[in-house]
Amino acid sequence: MHLRPAVFLDKDGTLVDDVPYNVEPARIVLAPGAAALARLVDAGFLLVVVSNQSGVARGYFSETALPAVEQRLRRLLGEFGVPLAGFYYCPHLPAGRIARFSVECQCRKPKPGLLLTAARDLRIDLTRSWMIGDILDDVEAAHVAGCRAVLLLNGGETRWVTSGRRLPDAAARDLAGAVTRILEGAVYSDDSPLAVKVAADA
């Protein structure tokens, strides 16, 4: 069985501008540098969205609103010739308001369930795959699943708890930078922007 590498993309604050709990397609706008994702496709990577959508459990919107979000993403990415191989989301939150979604699960990042499910469905080689996200929960999910991770330094992360599996393999300012780091096989180093940030906060 032939397995392909993938780049997993967090949605809000990574692939698209962060509008909290938004499911209105017209308000979904790709983040700066998104056109560079075409370079990953050309290099043989599948692109897969993996997103926590706790607004379902919180009662802010229905799960039925999410297919329109996926369709909007596919259309916007299609304008750059970028196909989306999969769209996976977690609707759960233990402290939510909607009972059937207010549960402990294995899919809410930093747990790796979304990535593992996508890997089974799409025949992905996790050892050759990456995750791009704007918070360290994305990094942890990637590492638990067996991938490497790029953290976007765009203000999404505020806690900076980098212990254990939460230290990214690379850091970038936007999606274009993240694409470059992946294609170069970038490795985290002590003089990276993330290292400087962590040192300043220590």
Report, as residue numbers or ranges, the catalytic residues: 10, 12
Q: How far apart are CA 48 and CA 138, in angstroms?
A: 13
User: Facing residues of 52 across strands?
Assistant: 90
- In angstroms, the Cα distances linking 1 to 4, 125, 155 are 10, 11, 40
The answer to whether the Cα torsion of 93, 94, 96, 102 is positive or negative is positive
H/E element, 136: helix 136-145
Residues contacting 90, CB < 8 A, separation 6+: 51, 52, 53, 54, 105, 107, 108, 109, 113, 114
Cα–Cα distance measured from residue 11 to residue 47, given in angstroms and rounded to the nearest whole number: 12
Question: Which amino acid is located at 3 in the chain?
Answer: L
Structure tokens at 161: 């708890």
